[in-house]
Structure 1
């Protein structure tokens, strides 16, 4: 899902985390913007490391060094490595949702639109298999709640059922969209293990979507 980017430039180090507490002429809004930028820099650094070496490469000290922040600052934003993985998952979904907004699925059926989204996500993840493996394994082994399942379910509902939101969906609709999302995650994991080809995944997702979401 991540588009190719130039290597992240390492900004000047913040050895004591002092930038966090400095006052600025812009007040709270400037500090908030600075904190948002710092958080984004940390997440991008973690994703870049994971794309080259999986979850094992996302060592907290290494992430801090690459992002140019103090280790203590990193822990203030992300108390654990799993919290950082969750943030990377969230950014990948942000990228997918932005792609969908720019180029909405054009299929005429709910199933066709759902398949478009899932296969677009598959192609994006397969461009960086180490990152994909890290994210999928983190979903399976997660010790904290991740936004992945709920957000993918919500995205499938929106594209399949003409903008239907999770809040307005029935329990059955949520279960159907959630089941399709789960099927996709399992198929993607099989592909990462070398047990599925892209064509096999598409065929299975086509079949699952036809059974699960055409009546949404």
Structure 2
């Protein structure tokens, strides 16, 4: 199972392998919650997940692969939860603002986890492009679903482009928040304004 990219659930053939992968990701989040980015060490993850260090490396080639995969899992969970329920809002901007505020809940609950996952995203190089792509696609799926929840069929190329822009701004705002350049209120206001500008909606009175 040696690979230069992380093994996703779809790559694993047995329930035992999928459970093992889940334990590795759970252990990563637990360590990040305790001590942030620096606390996530491959040996510590392997010990907490009760797997051999070599097994961990076969699933995740590096700490960065592991942390970005945790971010992808968080967004996958958020995507399923948000898209499966009616999205409130009178226009596209209101709906997109709603899903962005409610996506990535794990990133918002614990600042140390948010810091660890965001730093991994910032430090990722070309070897992590598959995992980065997964995060981008999930974020795009959340945004395009909110833009037009009644859409039949696939989003248009324009809608995908708009979603990518909003996703890039969201990630930029997340970096500003975890590095202390903006507080939570400022981050939310910045994202609200950015979404309304991109989608051509006026701010509420």
Q: What's the TM-score once normalised by structure 1's chain length?
A: 0.76
Q: Whole-Å Cα distance in 2 between the matches of residues 122 and 42 of structure 1?
A: 19
Instruction: Point out where structure 1 has 5 or more consecutive residues left out of the alignment.
Output: 1-30
Q: Whole-Å Cα distance in 2 between the matches of residues 121 and 190 of structure 1?
A: 17
Note if contact 1:129-1:192 (Cα within 8 Å) is conserved in structure 2. Answer: yes
Structure 1 104/135 Cα, relative in aligned 2: closer, same or farther at 3 Å? farther
Q: Among residues 166, 172, 180, which one is paired with 2:158 in the alignment? A: 172
Deviation at 1:141, TM superposition (A): 1.6
- What does residue 181 of structure 2 align with? 195
Number of equivalent positions: 184
Q: Give the CA RMSD over aligned residues.
A: 2.2
Q: Deviations over 1:2-23 (max 9, x none)?
A: xxxxxxxxxxxxxxxxxxxxxx
Structure 1 123/39 Cα, relative in aligned 2: closer, same or farther at 3 Å? closer
Which of the pair is proportionally richer in helix?
Answer: 2
Deviation at 1:182, TM superposition (A): 1.1
Instruction: Point out where structure 2 has 5 or more consecutive residues left out of the alignment.
Output: 1-12
Write out aligned runs for 1:1-216 (5 A): 32-101=14-83, 103-121=85-103, 124-143=106-125, 144-145=128-129, 146=132, 147-162=134-149, 168-213=154-199
Q: Deviations over 1:31-90 (max 9, x none)?
A: 701111111111110111112222221111110100011111112211222221222111
Q: Whole-Å Cα distance in 2 between the matches of residues 120 and 134 of structure 1?
A: 19
Query: What SS does the corresponding residue of 2:103 show, helix, strand or coil?
Result: helix
Q: What's the TM-score once normalised by structure 2's chain length?
A: 0.80
Q: Whole-Å Cα distance in 2 between the matches of residues 192 and 72 of structure 1?
A: 32
Note if contact 2:87-2:95 (Cα within 8 Å) is conserved in structure 1. Answer: yes
Q: Deviations over 1:174-195 (max 9, x none)?
A: 2211111111111122122222
